[in-house]
Amino acid sequence: MSTSEELREALLDLEEARKKEALHRRMAEALLEGLHALVTSKDPNTMFTRLFDAMKEPLEFDSAFVLLQNHDGALVTLTTSSSVFAHRVWRPGAMLGRVLGGQPVAVFDTRLVEEWNTQPEEVLGAARSALHFSIRTTDRNAIMVCTHPDRARFSKNHVTLARRFSMLATQALQKLESDEKLADLEKQLETQASIAELNRRLAESEQKLSRAKKMEAVGLLAGGVAHDLNNILTGIVSYPDLLLMDEDMRPEYREAIETIRDAGLRAAAVVDDLLTVAKGAASPREPLNLNAVVDEYLLSPEHQRLFEADDGVVIETELGGDLLNIMGSPIHITKALMNLAYNAVEALQGTEGGRVLVRTENRYVDRPLKGYTEVRAGEYAVVSVRDNGSGISPEDLERIFEPFYTRKRMGRSGTGLGLTIVWNVMQDHGGYVDVTTGEGGTEFLLYFPAIREALADAPSFLRFDDYRGNGETVLVVDDLEDQRKTACAILRKLGYVPHSAESGEKALEYLSDHSVSIVLLDMIMEPGMNGMETYRRISAIHPGQKAVIASGYSMSEDVVAAQHMGAGIFIKKPYTIAKLGQALKEELTK
């Protein structure tokens, strides 16, 4: 195959990856809009109405309703987007029984189904085809039904999407139950003598419950969406890297491919924001100094773009001497600092003489410090970001760390997750956040527990030849074909001999008759065994088998378990050629 043919084939693969990314992006946007409705709606009717609107385009339905199962087994309409389906009672038969058991069902023609034939003609006329899926909580069983007046409107693809959206509907039902329980508790408390005190306690409990539910819902969906998008972005980031290694490429092609790669990297950064919000998202920790983190951020392109867009704002630094080190993730701490700087600049828009001060210092807290949160006694390295804007109102101050709580227009100025990311980073690092605000401006202080451990030596710069392979064999184990194809293309370019397996089971079959130098192992594979179980069984066949773990999600308990068994470095998708090459070289030379 000639170079031009290889380039044309690679460009076609890249275009296909872009189409898949667009499809996943539309689905992710629908999930994000549904999640936004879930955490911001004040009453159940509004919540489900907005939820139906978010799901309507990807599931392609005309109307939707939710059936709630009573104690006698009957299903009654809880909420609906059309009055035709209001106040209806359904008796579960074979079909609805399967749905209640957790199996989504797409009905080709409702007139051929027993349960539907018990409904009046106006219902059958409005719903000739239907998609049913279960939504259940600890206390209740329910079914969501999507309908269309035409026959055969729902396919297997719709069933697959319904499984994803069922998480949103389940969270909505759980929120409804929580609201009902809180309402019942409020009625009980009002009958007692100390109504004022009990109402105060109720409000605190409601706030904590609401925050916990929001964080849980955001984390659950963000993690799933981020994993899917990172898998898609692997091709968009990695294939351009391969193409750009062609020194004879025409300049106009090179510029276009660099634009695609840079767009993929920016998208990966947004996905990383979602992973930072996701519950359980983690990253490797290392001893570091906040002064170095601040200096590196101030030199970053992100910082330069921020302050180029706001010429009137001046940034100043006061970096403390002999600052204590901390144990942390430089990527996530930089992300927290970037979001605070962005917030400060936003607060100064339209302000003459706007100034932002970034300061670091050591602080010893000898007794618990009561601030926005209570800071426990101990030694801390503190980084603060202060602006001289108009301050934050008391009403907003109570909610600024909630996901999607923003006074800015969604989609025009961030995602509404900036301060949520700051909060989650500090929780993940065992640190604390304090906020002071007034007419003279606002200051955010991040308290990181200090350590006495010295910093690690900075890694030396590696050239391409430093991480090139020498014909070693690599088994790529991934459930997605485009991921295997991308990885194998990179490995061949790096000088390795790649083989691939579409599942853990196929990998075991291959390794029962062959041996390889190293395994490149995906962690989340469906259906079948995941990466951790796959590596456990590989180790039984080839004890001490070298492996690099790759995943679209962050570090997890399964990754740590696999590493304890002997697996090596973890790299997060999408990965660059350099990142994969360095990981393989490091493992192979151990």
Q: pLDDT for 353-397, tens place per residue?
A: 788 999 999 998 887 777 666 788 889 999 999 999 888 888 888
One domain for residues 500 and 549: yes
| C-alpha–C-alpha distance, residues 270 and 415, integer Å | 9
Q: Is residue 41 part of a domain?
A: yes
Contact 318, 294 (CB under 8 A): no
One domain for residues 417 and 468: no
Listed in sequence order, the residues at least 6 apart from 139 whose beta carbon sits closer than 8 Å to its beta carbon are: 177
One domain for residues 438 and 508: no
Q: What pLDDT is stored for residue 411 in this prediction?
A: 39
| C-alpha–C-alpha distance, residues 321 and 436, integer Å | 24
Q: Is residue 14 part of a domain?
A: no
State how many domains the chain has.
3
Specify the CATH number for the domain of residue 369.
3.30.565.10
Q: What pLDDT is stored for residue 191 in this prediction?
A: 61
One domain for residues 374 and 482: no
Helix (H/G/I), strand (E/B), else coil: 446: strand
Q: Which of 204-213, 280-289, 538-547 has the highest mean pLDDT?
A: 538-547
State CA 433 to chain mean position distance. 22
Two structure tokens written together for 48: 């489900």
pLDDT over 60 (residue 408):
no
| C-alpha–C-alpha distance, residues 467 and 577, integer Å | 10
Q: Which of 254-263, 319-328, 569-578 has the highest mean pLDDT?
A: 319-328
Residue ranges making up the domain that contains 399: 290-451
In this structure, the number of other CB atoms found within 10 A of the CB of residue 556 comes to 21
Last residue of some domain: 145, 180, 213?
213
Axis-axis angle for helices 3-40, 481-494 (nearest 10): 130
Give me the phi and psi of 70, to 5 degrees please: -80, 175
Contact 435, 397 (CB under 8 A): yes
Strands 63-69 and 75-80: antiparallel
Q: Which of 46-50, 84-88, 362-366 has the highest mean pLDDT?
A: 84-88
Q: Is residue 268 part of a domain?
A: no
Residue range 221-242: mean pLDDT, rounded: 69
| C-alpha–C-alpha distance, residues 423 and 431, integer Å | 9
3-state class percentages of the chain: helix first, strand second, coil last, to nearest 5 = 50, 20, 30
One domain for residues 392 and 493: no
Contact 130, 109 (CB under 8 A): no
Q: Which of 26-30, 49-53, 448-452, 539-543 has the lowest mean pLDDT?
A: 26-30
Contact 561, 523 (CB under 8 A): no
| C-alpha–C-alpha distance, residues 70 and 142, integer Å | 9
Task: Find, among 36, 29, 76, 74, the residue nearest to 56 by Cα.
Answer: 29
Mean pLDDT of the chain: 81
One domain for residues 442 and 538: no
State the burial class of residue 320 (Cβ atoms within 10 Å of its Cβ: 0-12, 13-18, 19+). Answer: middle
One domain for residues 368 and 485: no
Last residue of some domain: 192, 213, 234?
213
Task: Find, among 350, 357, 338, 359, the residue nearest to 390 by Cα.
Answer: 350
**In the chain, how many H helices and how many E strands?**
18, 20
Q: Is residue 247 part of a domain?
A: no
One domain for residues 312 and 362: yes
Contact 584, 494 (CB under 8 A): yes
One domain for residues 144 and 33: yes
Residue range 256-279: mean pLDDT, rounded: 70
Q: Is residue 239 part of a domain?
A: no
pLDDT over 50 (residue 280):
no
Higher-confidence residue of 250 and 288: namely 288
Reply yes or no: is the peptide bond before residue 368 cis, omega within 30 of 0.
no
Last residue of some domain: 157, 185, 213?
213
Two structure tokens written together for 503: 């599942």
